[in-house]
Amino acid sequence: MKKAYIIGHNVVSPLGFSTEETVDRILEGQTGLKRDTASAEPSCTARIDDARLREAFAAIADPADFTRLEMMCLLSMSTALRSIPEPLTDIQLIVCSTKGNIDWLGAGADRPDDSVRLGVFARRLAGFFGFTQEPLVVSNACISGLQGLIIGARRIRAGRSRRVVVVGGDLVSAFALAGFRSFGALSDEFCRPFDADRKGINLGEAAATVVLADEPPTNETPRFVCESGFVTNDATHISAPSRQGEGLYQAIRRVQQSEPEPTIDFICAHGTATVYNDEMEAQAFYRSGLDQTPLLSLKGYFGHTLGASGLLETIVSLEALRRNRLIPSRGFGQEGTTRPVAVVREPEQRPMRSFLKTSSGFGGCNAALLVRQL
């Protein structure tokens, strides 16, 4: 069976418009989260600066012709695609998002045709680069980005595609803020994943792109492969996860059972900082024998970027692996789950070869992917 190599990636986030810039700022201890105290209902969000986005995008196209989310995704894709030699042929595009161009549904918005539809949104991204294959859309709550990466890797390994571009993006919107607030899951303070005093999530926005291929990169950079990845559903509740983490546990166990060397150097958890999500993940990691494995959540740096989160956090974890740096889970101070987890408190330099990325979402969906450095 073929291997699914990661040959390129890029992040457009509130912390930077490249993977390197973003990770540098994380390692400096910076966060993209800011308090919004002007609203009658205060919140903390991480948003991309509009002026910088338009200025950067103007180097590749006219900002007036594209929505804000399209600019974010195209900017991320244009950088990641430098890893593929011209012409850009035989490429399968997978677009991951929970809400797409949701800002165009606002009152008085100047709607460009029917770009609010995810299928149209995906075709606009594909058409910009001249991709001829029909793009795939993955919109499965908050596991969308990671599920898209798992699907892309499976296509490579099965020989159905030679190159796959997986892009994910979502915006901070009034709709999403109102939805999480109605669940009592939104925090008006900086989020604190796995901490005893966690109050809920912060929302963020980002675009992230990963390029997969059936051959390794030709340069001297480390070679990363997407190994086993599985998606499950615990079928428990429309929004609440299984209290025992059953769906996530099943996804992790399938990864472990399918790997001849299931060594995991660290876990990049979903870690939303809600009471139920963090407890559920701790249960799943404990049941999988991973309670002593270093664990981190990146939500304290970006907030929850919804459909982009799995891709964004995988890319940051790749860079952490390349640099042999464990990233601390920002906001964590005191253990706050009934099952112990080894949350990373301080940055640490150590040799590492692999990590497990997990995601969970509404409807009981879960995903787990093992990434290894060869």
Pairing relation of β-strands 354-361 and 325-326?
unpaired
Q: What is the pLDDT of residues 260-301, one digit of tens each?
A: 877 899 999 999 999 999 999 999 999 999 999 999 999 999
How far does CA 126 lie from the centroid of its chain? Answer: 20
Whole-angstrom distance, CA of residue 365 vs CA of residue 358: 11
CA dist 275 and 259 (Å) reads: 32
**Is the predicted pLDDT of residue 170 greater than 80, yes or no?**
yes
Q: Is the pLDDT of residue 366 over 60?
A: yes
Q: In the predicted model, what is the mean pLDDT of the chain?
A: 93
| 6-20, 48-62, 194-208, 237-251, range with the lowest pLDDT | 237-251
pLDDT of residue 71: 98
Residue 106: which pLDDT band, with cuts at 50, 70 and 90?
Answer: low
Q: Between 118-129 and 68-80, two packed helices, what is the crossing angle to 10 degrees? A: 40
What is the pTM (predicted TM-score) of this model? 0.96
Domains belonging to the chain, first-starting first, are: 4-213 (3.40.47.10), 224-373 (3.40.47.10)
More confident residue, 174 or 112: 174
Cα–Cα distance, 323 to 311 (Å, whole number): 19
CB 72 within 8 A of CB 48: yes
What's the pLDDT score for residue 114?
Answer: 79
**pLDDT by residue (tens digit) across 300-313?**
999 999 999 999 99
**How would you label 141-172 residue by residue, b for 16+ Cβ within 10 Å and e otherwise?**
bbbbbbbbbbbbbebbbeeebbbbbbbbbbbb
What distance in Å separates the CA atoms of residue 208 and residue 167, rounded to the nearest whole number?
Answer: 6
More confident residue, 112 or 169: 169
**Tokens describing residue 235:** 């079928």
Return the sign of the alpha-carbon dihedral for residues 266, 269, 274, 278: negative
